[in-house]
Amino acid sequence: MALQSTSRDDRLQKLVNEIYSMLASEGLPRSCAVCGAACCTVRDLQVEDDSFALTVPLRVCSQCAHQPPFPRRPLFPLEGNLSSMAASVLAYARAIVAWVASAVNPKEAAPSDRDRPTLAALVKTNPPYGRLLEAFPETTVSCAKTGQLREAGQFERQRFRGDAQVWQSYFYLTTPDELKKSTIPALILSSYPEIIDARLKQVVDHERPQEPLIIQVGAVLLPGRHWDFDCQLLTTASHAPLDSLKCQVLDTLRSLPTWPVAYPVVIVVRRGFGKPPASLRQALPQPFKSWLARILLPGLFYGEVARRFYDVTLPTEPLAVEVEDCAAIQRCLPKSAPLKILHAEFLTVLQRHDEALDIWSALIEELPDEQEVVFRRIACLARSGQLERAASECQKRICRYPSEATAYATLADLQVGMNLLSESLKTIDRALALKEAAEFFRTRNFSIRA
Ligand SMILES: [Zn+2]
């Protein structure tokens, strides 16, 4: 559902769990993913992105396993193990074989291979794999290095779990208790790693480094609306010039919108580019090493260390959050419906109904059936004094979902507001016909009649 605000990490973990439970329960389909014939052999495929590498089994019969998109069985088995003279003879022989093939069957030879499905298309025929590829469109599929055809076994799920590598893309160094002290709303807190991640991607996409790369950003948000950053870049190339890339990363982070907090909040974001090896991730140093070098006290949490390091005075007054704070974060994540809702609710509290309505109207075009959006928009119309328009939106909703209790309740209240008491009672009578919500409406009916 569009309104759920889940992080990339959570979505990934959920999809990986789905694959595991499919392998653990019903298992793989019993037929070849290419030709559909019953078979009991599997091939392993490598499915990877910058944040995960999975080895997934796929049912393939012995016929299909050696034809494109899989590597063909070598025509000359000694290939790769020859003297240079023998290799040139082999190359010549291979050219002749190809020429004969095309001469014998000029039309079919090439196109038949081209019409074969790609590995990615084959993987997608399995629904849990397909959902993963859809959610992470930059995923690549290749034959696993150990991808010999083998008998389907009982241990597919153990193999899958044993080989799966999933890297966390962000975490908080502050404890849950420290996060609570900071008073930062959960939605805002979870938006920051996403914004930082998007900015890292923007810088790297622009620079296009050749070698696999991993970037770690430590970000601390301090009371007084102040950010500080710590950035590490690691690459597999021995002498790649990373200083300018690092400067650009820090530069793009300086314009990160702030939020008033009552206690330091420390976030770490990690992003790989070009599929960095696991060893590179393991080599990442601890973020904000300089703090720990200066404040060496056992048992201190990062929030407290940051407070001492930056010598921060904690605010005693309630924090002044402004609607512009919310708008600035929303602009960084323009697709986030939860942030738009927060922004609209904020404007409503400030009685800026027209601006709030603009946001609700844009949201309703994106999510016309989303209950939360529909009713919050109706409430906003009512608060801005447009009772008739609100009532007509309720009527529309009733036409669409005739058994939804909330629509009747809202309409009945609006009709009371418009002094249409008998209409309101009729609405309640209609609602009473809905068995499931009957009790609720009986008490409401009683309170209006009284
Ligand atoms: Zn087959």
Q: How far is the CA of 175 from the centre of ligand 1 (A)?
A: 53
Within a domain: residue 200?
Answer: yes
State the pLDDT at residue 262.
94
User: Is the model's pLDDT at 168 over the cut of 50?
Assistant: yes
160 and 275, same domain (yes or no) = no
CATH of the domain at 431: 1.25.40.10
State the pLDDT at residue 329.
95
> Backbone phi, then psi, for 430, in 5-degree steps?
-60, -40
Q: How far is the CA of 118 from the centre of ligand 1 (A)?
A: 14
Give the range of the structural domain holding residue 369, as residue numbers without chain letter.
Answer: 323-449
State the pLDDT at residue 80.
47
Q: How far is the CA of 65 from the centre of ligand 1 (A)?
A: 7
pLDDT per residue as tens digits for the range 53-101 = 999 999 999 989 888 888 876 555 444 455 555 555 555 555 555 555 5
Q: How far is the CA of 440 from the centre of ligand 1 (A)?
A: 59
141 and 178, same domain (yes or no) = no
How high does pLDDT run on average in the chain?
Answer: 85
State the pLDDT at residue 224.
92
198 and 277, same domain (yes or no) = yes
Within a domain: residue 181?
Answer: yes
pLDDT per residue as tens digits for the range 117-131 = 899 999 999 999 999
The number of folded domains in the chain is 3
pLDDT per residue as tens digits for the range 244-255 = 899 999 999 999
Q: How far is the CA of 29 from the centre of ligand 1 (A)?
A: 13
User: Rg of the chain over CA atoms, in angstroms?
Assistant: 30
pLDDT per residue as tens digits for the range 385-394 = 999 999 999 9
State the pLDDT at residue 44.
92
284 and 403, same domain (yes or no) = no
User: Is the model's pLDDT at 331 over the cut of 50?
Assistant: yes
pLDDT per residue as tens digits for the range 182-235 = 999 999 999 999 999 999 999 998 888 888 899 999 999 999 999 999 999 998
Q: How far is the CA of 449 from the centre of ligand 1 (A)?
A: 72
With CA atoms as reference, report the closest residue to 152 among 52, 67, 33: 33
Q: How far is the CA of 45 from the centre of ligand 1 (A)?
A: 16
**Contact in structure between 401 and 395 (CB atoms under 8 Å):** no
State the pLDDT at residue 449.
65
247 and 395, same domain (yes or no) = no
271 and 299, same domain (yes or no) = yes
Does residue 368 have a cis bond before it (omega within 30 degrees)? no
Q: How far is the CA of 120 from the centre of ligand 1 (A)?
A: 16
Q: How far is the CA of 59 from the centre of ligand 1 (A)?
A: 8
40 and 154, same domain (yes or no) = yes
> Backbone phi, then psi, for 410, in 5-degree steps?
-65, -45
pLDDT per residue as tens digits for the range 426-446 = 988 888 877 555 566 666 666
Confidence (pTM):
0.75
